[in-house]
Structure 1
Amino acid sequence: MIVHVLDDTPTPDPADDPGPGETDAPEARATSDGVAGTPPLDADAATVLDPADDAVEDEGEDRPDVLVEPDLNAEPDLNEEPDVEVEPVEGGAAADGPAADVAQADAVPDDVTTPTLGTEVHDGSAPADAAAPAHSAPADAAAPAHSVPADDPVLSVASRPADELEESPEGEPDGFERPRPTPRALVLSFGMLAVSVLVGILAVVPAPYAVNGPGPTKDVLGEVDGTPLIEVDGAETFPSTGELLLTTISGTGGPGYPAYALNVLQGWFSPSSLVRPVEEVYPQDLTQEEIDESNAGQMVSSYENASVAALTELGYEVPATLVVAGTVEGTDAEGKLEEGDVLTALDGVALPDYQLLVERLEEVVPGDTVTLTVTRHSRALEVPVVTGEREDGGAQIGVFIDPSFDMPLDVSISIDGIGGPSAGTMFALGIVDLLTPEDEAAGQVIAGTGTIDVTGAVGPIGGIRQKLFGAVRDGATWFLAPAGNCEEVVGHVPDGLRVVEIATLHEAREAMTAIGAGTADDLPTCTAD
């Protein structure tokens, strides 16, 4: 350090050093940043003190003027020892460093003021790269409790003002060190990646299974795109306050709609879904177009049968032409009757409709011979046929009948996207409800399923368990189930749903009326017997 003395006053000899009461050195002061003490005279961060501003009266003697010449281009040496000694104030001993300064600061008289030379403080400490102010602590002094070490890259960046931070190209402050991931974090990351890859594979890999779940329901008394689902011309119709829901199933696994491994896993864990080998559900020799065409044909046949059965239930006569569509292999009719023959009588009794043919056969004992009157190429023929036995024990003549009906009313059903014969029973109930002035459903939501033939017999269907879940999902509290499905129903009825067993359209109509009237407690239900 270079010190120039501006007067001719000789440098005092150490032996002549005045006592505690006669010192010319300025006493310690507390600064705004908590660092107290006499400002160091540093070679690289010096300050010119104005004698007029820093004079201290002491026994009438003037303090000599001191000029410090700074080297503005030099780098600060933080390890250089300061040339200023701190002498003890009255009541204390001399000490070096900030500890002594802080101790002496408590003893500074209130009438003595340390000049402040424009020092700016940020967050309790000056910027690390700023020149040391005149009243800062010595470079080698211990940092105050709230200061930040200049060589700490993390803490020093955090303590610097936001406008002085420089960002790297990646958008992070210079000096910032990103923490390295722990082994646990690495394991979790790789585990999550593996699970994601596995789920992705399961979502795209086909599986040799068919998965069936609850499908949509439709209110046959409601509308589809603004058009009534059932319309009847030729008779008065009546409104209903209830709902009659036909139920469906949705399936994957058929041609054109493969089931993936993820679908199969979900189906196995879902109580409302059924997973079966695909060959048990879909014919393997048919295309999806052929399956859709078959389902559409079955739907048309179901609502034709429903119309005939409903009108017959209401007392209408529905004449029919009974056309032979083929014969059953191995029966006596094979080779005797031909496709296109029209049945007109059985044992001399005319057959104006299909229902009468069924009623006459119920009186025949299997194995008896009956005489069929047929019209072939405009000629009447009498053909004797030995009857066979149906699976249910009744007699059969061994022919397939494709009846052509002469409907007394024009009944149309509009529905798209749903195929198969299982909606026949609910279609028939809807027609009955529309053509009767009574409000049979009376505000109740009744779901159901089952095939139906022109005689009104209700047959079993597939997917009964999935349909139960679909019904309760869409608000139904009652379900009409075919008697042939009761074994599958028992033990699989969702909460909030009551099941009624039916075998005919007439039984279904009586059940609907009882539910609407609130007298359904005694209706038969499916049991384990």
Structure 2
Amino acid sequence: MTFDHDILAPDDAASPEHPAAPVSGRSVTLGISLLVTALLAAVLLVLPAPYAIRAPGPTQDTLGVQGGEAAAEDEPDGESVTAVPVVAVDGAPTFDTTGQLRLTTISAFGGPGSDVLLGDVLQAWYAPERSVQPAELIFGEESTSEEQERMLQAQMEGSEESATVAALTALGYEVPATLTVIGAAEGSGAEGVVEPDDVVRSIDGEPVVTHQDLLAGLDEVTPGDDVVLGVERDGAEQDLTVTTGDGDGRAALGIYLDPQYRFPVDVTIRPGNIGGSSAGTMFALAIIDKMTKEDELGGEIVAGTGTMSVDGRVGPIGGIRQKMFGAQRDDARWFLAPASNCDEVVGHVPDGLRVVRVATLDDARSAIEAIGAGAADGLPTCS
């Protein structure tokens, strides 16, 4: 190979024809400074940082089996593995479904017992599918990893129960409930009025047979007004006057309840190693899809998120941006987003994903029916 100019070979670098340039003190100082800076930067990048990183977590088809298709395959040693449905219904007819209803999750790093490095934080700041926040905002200041796990599991169990009540009610079933008081919120109108073990029997003279009866009674009340709460205490009926507060735009009693439901249909939800309350909407939709003759999805893959109250209200969740990226990664074309999270959605929707705004279980059910029927153009979005 030839070149049109001379090249110094390494052995010629200090030849008499090309003497080495003298090294100045300034050059030595600069070199040492750069080396020290590089070493300090390297050390900083591997130091723990007081931040948490949220990233897209796994998704799960609530119409499928726990762990996905792999759960239905045989083990290498030939032993058969039982495929466990995520949502199973017993005591009522069920019907075949097509498509997928995928709950979405986030993976959080940097909580109790799981420090993240500064280098990870810097990288996450520039990744659109990740977010960085002070660790205490996500995990709390004093909680341990075991406490976090217990809390998330309790939230999941509550979510499963609320979703089942909402779905069965939407399908026309009545779900009776015994609503037992376990306490009153400090500073609320119920403090010093209700007592633990009171059982709610009526509100403003209307009987409370289901949890929805109580919530419907409160919907008729302006926050701040008094209500007459009929309770059973030590076997005797009593009427208590409670001044309501404001609970996200609706009247709130300020009492903590332990509801015991009597389900007319046996619904079992097994999501696997997933915690939190944000899968309620997708659980409720799966129950409805399995218990109706209509093939709501028509083969489409719909992902989503949102808490579900017993009276069918879709509530806000955390990490919706990461959940949208997780849905896109797992081939969903549609995403159901709580209306109250829309401000976090706008401008952050991954390519190829269409977001539908939902505020109630009825909204979400109508959305999957329209998607399955190929008539989704008019569905509300977050834009």
In 1, distance between residues paired with 2:110 and 2:12? 45
Q: Structure 1: which amino acid aligns with 2:181?
A: V
Which residue of the other structure, out of 412, 419, 433, is the alignment partner of 2:275? 419
In structure 1, the residue matched to 2:197 is 340
Which residue does 1:271 correspond to in 2?
128
Task: State which of 477, 482, 503 in structure 1 corresponds to 2:338.
Answer: 482
Is 1:241 the counterpart of 2:98 in the alignment? yes
Residues 267-306 of structure 1 aligned to structure 2 (within 5 Å): 267-306=124-163
Aligned to 2:210: 353
Alignment of 1:437 onto 2:293: yes
User: Does 2:380 correspond to 1:524?
Assistant: yes
1:221 and 2:221 equivalent? no
**How far has the Cα of 1:339 moved from its partner?**
1.7
Which residue of structure 2 lines up, in the alignment, with residue 212 of structure 1?
A: 54
Q: Is the 8 A contact 1:320 1:406 kept in 2?
A: yes
Displacement of 1:248: 0.5
- What is the alpha-carbon distance in structure 2 between the residues aligned to residue 218 and residue 459 of structure 1? 20
Shift of 1:369: 2.5
- The answer as to 2:339 corresponding to 1:497 is no
Give, in whole Å, the separation in 1 of the partners of 2:13 and 2:378: 68
**Is 1:385 aligned with 2:246?**
no
Superposition deviation, residue 295 in structure 1: 0.3
Residue 397 of structure 1 is matched in structure 2 by 253
TM-score (structure 1 length as normaliser): 0.61
Instruction: Say if 1:199 and 1:509 are closer, same or farther in 2 by CA, change over 3 A.
Output: farther
Structure showing greater Rg: 1
Structure 2: distance between partners of 1:374 and 1:413: 32
1:326-353 superposed Cα distances (whole Å, 9 cap, x missing partner): 1122222110101221100112211000
- Identify the structure with bigger relative contact order (alpha carbons < 8 Å, sequence gap 6+): 2
Letter of the aligned partner of 1:501 in structure 2? R
Q: Where does residue 373 of structure 1 map in the other structure? A: 230
Task: Tell me the SS of whatever aligns to 1:338.
Answer: coil
Hey, which of these two has a bigger chunk of strand by percent? 2
Aligned to 1:409: 265
Q: In the alignment, which residue of structure 2 is the partner of 1:447?
A: 303
- Structure 1 residue ranges, 4+ long, deviating more than 4 angstroms after superposition: 179-183, 193-204
Q: Distance in 1 between matches of 2:376 and 2:241?
A: 49
Shift in CA distance, 240/194, structure 1 to aligned 2, threshold 3 Å: farther
* Structure 1 counterpart of 2:360, one-letter code: T
Which runs of 5 or more residues in structure 2 are unaligned? 1-9, 15-34, 72-82
Q: CA deviation at 1:324?
A: 1.1
Post-superposition shift, 1:196? Answer: 11
1:145-224 equivalences under 5 Å are 201=43, 204-224=46-66
Q: CA deviation at 1:325?
A: 2.3
Whichever residue aligns with residue 207 of structure 1, its letter is A
1:87 matched to which residue of 2? none
**Counterpart-to-counterpart distance in 2, 1:218 and 1:195:** 46
Residue 228 of structure 1: SS of its match in structure 2? coil
RMSD: 2.3
- C-alpha displacement of 1:203: 6.6
Identity %: 53
Q: Distance in 2 between matches of 1:335 and 1:240?
A: 51
* Distance across 2 between alignment mates of 1:261 and 1:181: 45
> Distance between the aligned counterparts of 2:12 and 2:313, measured in 1?
71
From the superposition, tell whether residues 443 and 180 of structure 1 become closer, same or farther in structure 2 (CA, over 3 Å): farther
Report the CA distance shift for 1:180/1:194 in structure 2 as closer, same or farther (over 3 A): farther
Deviations 1:228-272 (A, max 9, x none): 111111011112110011000111110011111222122012111
Query: Are the aligned partners of 1:511 and 1:520 in contact in 2 as well (CA < 8 Å)?
Result: yes
The one-character-per-residue Cα deviations of 1:103-153 (angstroms, maximum 9, x if unpaired) are: xxxxxxxxxxxxxxxxxxxxxxxxxxxxxxxxxxxxxxxxxxxxxxxxxxx
CA contact (8 A) 1:199 1:262 kept: no
Structure 1 counterpart of 2:21: none
C-alpha distance 286-351 of structure 1, shift in aligned 2 (>3 A): same
Aligned-partner SS, 2:201: strand
Cα 1:416–1:196, aligned 2, differ >3 Å: closer, same or farther?
A: farther
Q: Deviation of residue 367 (structure 1)?
A: 3.5
Amino acid in the other structure paired with 1:299: M
Q: Which residue pairs with 1:314 in the alignment?
A: 171
What is the distance in 1 between the residues matched to 2:12 and 2:140? 55
Task: For 1:8-23, list aligned pairs within 5 A.
Answer: none
Q: Is 1:364 aligned to residue 221 of structure 2?
A: yes
Residue identity opposite 1:281 in structure 2: I
The residue type equivalent to 1:462 in the other structure is G
Structure 1 position 285, deviation (Å)? 0.7
Aligned pairs for 1:101-180 within 5 A: none
Aligned partners of 2:266 and 2:45: how far apart in 1?
Answer: 48
TM-score (norm 2): 0.84
Pairing of 1:256-267 with structure 2 (within 5 A) = 256-267=113-124
Quote the Cα distance in structure 1 between the aligned partners of 2:354 and 2:168. 28
Structure 2 CA distance, aligned partners of 1:180 and 1:420?
Answer: 67
Write the deviation string for residues 365-406 of structure 1: whole angstroms up to 9, x where unpaired.
3333322111122222221222233331x3222212221100
**1:233–1:410 CA contact under 8 A, matched in 2:** yes
CA positional deviation for 1:445: 0.5
Greater percentage in helix = 2
